[in-house]
Chains A and B, each alone.
Chain A
């Protein structure tokens, strides 16, 4: 191996989302610091991620629109990622991913990094608020922070 003599390579970048016609509203809102989720025009129910069909009323023409939601929710589960299988996370491990049920709708779930660090004490039912991380200057990825516990 001759890598030691090669020019230092830039640190690998985390996978960058590629917005498309079904997701552009989500990523645009994230850049504004808002969580916007797809709502079916037919039944008014949120679907995440949005598919070609509404998973609730099963219309093939859901005409999803992205609606800003508060982004608070409760922790259903979590894991500490100690070894990532993706590029760009080597400096971030260990990090916590939380499986959050959003207040907006029953069983509406979102998985994001918990920005409180790997040592945060977690319990099912803990309250979290939406937050955003910026792996590159023009990308914002929804994440979570623990809400302050009021005694």
Chain B
């Protein structure tokens, strides 16, 4: 018994998203203002009605890029101030899993009455110069001293260790991942706003791609972009008076906290353990069996996340995801599970969990156009990995 009294009491009622580009020709904050105004208009509202703002503003790079609000990040404070709003509730989610984190805060704010209409936004930036994760440090103080001196640094090495641990433990191969990446790119290629629009890849492209940290190759990683998305959330009661079909937040779960280790040291056991925690929390908050999910949008900022989320929410058994994908199980054009129907981060660009949340919203509100799935009643939008993130469960009807 969870006592989660916010179940289906808060709904997503509108959205907007900028084009996803390598480098925008306007400051990120300017784009964020336009997107927020568009999302509010899409919801049938005025900016002066918006009284809540949440985000997770982190710039997800290990490079030494300057962080400037309104330029390289956009906080909720910055957005509210520059929109000229007078919010009652402004909050930022710390750490990873920014999308579910910010949605959870928005849901709690609406359900508690702290705010009536909340804009949840996410602004992602690709710094204009230097490598995204390159860092010129010559000394390693603090937490970095435990890992950088031996060359263990950055998200690629971080993900390579549990990826290889998975391959070794279950007898899977790097080539098995081609089915995931080609599926993300096939779907992203059909999405007009995607950076990869019109550019699908073949399995051979994946197999031949440059390996950076075995088994991670360049195509296992989403490409850094500039882009902003915003969603408007309000109560189920108010949602009935607005133009779009509401999509209800019916549960959520995060996997944290996770064991303290070296910075960036993720183990397969930590990931799988946290996956079980997230699944339990989703069941507890929603009261649903996760087998009822028909739009499972799995996070794919690094491709192995897809396998781990599949197993965490029971789309296949532990250790079975590689073969399941290789055998066509997630090929949506062939009737497979629509885990990447929205293209994901690999098929759109590094928008963090936005593609997952957006596709879930579009499918459940029946606004997905030519991608509309015949059955879209329960959706799951995952972000990051279960050990440093989580998922939000949405329903087309209130539970």
Query: Which residues in A have some Cβ–Cβ distance to B below 8 Å?
Result: 12-20, 23, 27, 47-49, 51, 55, 76-89, 92, 95, 97, 99, 107, 109-113, 123-124, 133, 135, 139, 141-143
Contacts and interface: CB of A to CB of B under 8 A. Distances in A.
B138 A79 contact: no
A81 B138 contact: no
A83 B160 CA distance: 13
B260 A47 contact: yes
Contacts of A113: 150-151
A99 B267 CA distance: 9
Contacts of A14: 149, 151
A1 B168 CA distance: 46
A17 B151 contact: no
Contacts of B134: 85
Contact of B145 (A19, A82, A111, A124): A19
B150 A78 contact: no
Given A49-B262, A81-B213, A143 B142 contact: no
B131 interface: yes
Contacts of B150: 97, 111-113, 133, 141-143
Given A77-B164, A86-B135, A141 B157 contact: no
B139 A111 contact: no
B161 A17 contact: no
Contacts of A16: 138-140, 149
Given A19-B145, A111-B265, A83 B212 contact: yes
A44 to B, nearest CB: 18
Contacts of A141: 149-150
Nearest to A79: B160
Contacts of A79: 157, 160-161, 164, 213-216
